[in-house]
Amino acid sequence: MRVWLLAKREFFATFDAPTGYVVLALFPALAATLFFLTGPFFALNEASLRPFFATMPWLLVLLAPAITMSLWAEEKRSGTEELLLTYPFHLRQLVLGKFFGAWAILALALVFSLAVPFTVDALGDLDWGPVGGGYLSVLLLGGASLAVGLFLSSCTDNQIVAWLLGATVLLAFNLVGLAATAASMPPTLGQLFLALDFGNHFQAMTRGVIDIGNIMFYLGVTAFFLVANGVVLERRRWS
């Protein structure tokens, strides 16, 4: 219940500043631009949303840290973090509250992008199975990306640094699979890199196949970074 209250507060607080609205408008607008205007959608002449979902990991590299950059860094800079830590909340509840608040913003941004599948369905015979899989995978990938961003936001008191760190780490998570294809890479390490790649798990789900392994991967990454976030705050509380 307390997590829910904190999440609600974080969610609505985002819209007290223009940043929340910018993220909300930018995410679906950029996705539609990359799909309809710069992408070959009309030239391909195929009612499919795979090119639309293919852009999502890269959009999240930019936008997930933008959602999370202020969540801890701003509290620390303005000195409200100490006050927050003295409230009768468990650290776990604080972290989860911020996380679910940020996740709700991403989910709302995704709702605004629903115009794209409905447009494609009006233009051709769209298979809705992969669309459902695609949105589920964006939510899971988004959750993992937000957890990474939240953790990095807790490590600094500067929002810009938090955003830069978040974007860099997420970019690395999205490119690590390519390193596995190099000849000089030892096979075991290559397998590990492939398993860690955000994009590989994401692609499998956007084609409409929901594998329990991929779901567990994203939930595992999310859980790890949320715990890491809690550990950073815990250490700070006692320092």
Partner 1 sequence: MKPKQQSLLTLVLVFLLLIPLVGLAQRLPMRFDLTEGHQYSLAPATVQTLAALEDRLQIKLYFNRDIEGAEALLPQRLLIADLLEEIENVGAPYVEVETVDPTTDLAAMRDAEHVGIEPLQLTGQDIAGIQVQLQYQGLELRYQDRSEIIPFVTADELEYAFTVRVASLLRPSRPVLGFVSDEPPLPPPMPGMPRQIPPARIFEKLRERLGQRYAVRDLNLAKTPSVAKDIVAVVVARPQNLESAQLQVLDRYLAEGGHVVVLQDFESVESSSLEAHPLQTGLEDWLQHFGIHVDARLVYDLHGVRVQAGVQTLNTPSGPQVAPVEANYGLGLLLEGDSLNAEHVVTADLSRVAMFWAHPIGLNPLPPGVDADILLRSSPQSWLLPADTPLGMSLENIQAMDRKARSGQSPRSYALCVALQGVFPPAFEQQDLHPAAGSLVVLGDADLFHNTTFASGADGNGDFAANLIDWVAQESDLIALRSRGKKQRPLTDFTASYVERHGGWEQEEEQLEAVHRDAVRYSRQSQRWIAWGNVLGPILVVFLLALGHMSYHRRRAGKVFVAGGNG
Letters for 185-214 (x = contact with partner 1 by CB under 8 A, - = none) are --x--x----x----x--xx--xxxxxxx-
Tokens 């631009």 appear where? 33
Hey, what are 168's tokens?
A: 């860099």
Q: What 3-state class would DSSP assign to 2?
A: helix
Rounded Cα–Cα distance for residues 121 and 9 (Å): 36
Letters for 84-123 (x = contact with partner 1 by CB under 8 A, - = none) are ----------------------------xx-xx--x---x
Closer residue to partner 1 (CB): 1 or 122: 122
Rounded Cα–Cα distance for residues 154 and 162 (Å): 8
**Cβ at position 213, least distance to partner 1 in Å:** 4
Hey, what are 36's tokens?
A: 């309809």
Rounded Cα–Cα distance for residues 153 and 149 (Å): 6
Closer residue to partner 1 (CB): 4 or 124: 124
Residue 68 CB contacts under 8 Å (≥ 6 apart), including other chains: 102, 146, 149, 150, 152, 153, 162, 166
Closer residue to partner 1 (CB): 83 or 123: 123
Closer residue to partner 1 (CB): 160 or 237: 237
H or E element at residue 107: helix 91-112
Footprint on this chain of partner 1 (rule: CB under 8 A): 15, 18, 21, 24-25, 28-29, 32-33, 35-37, 42, 45-48, 112-113, 115-116, 119, 123-127, 129-130, 132-133, 177-178, 181-183, 187, 190, 195, 200, 203-204, 207-213, 215-217, 220, 223-224, 227-228, 230-231, 234-235, 237-239
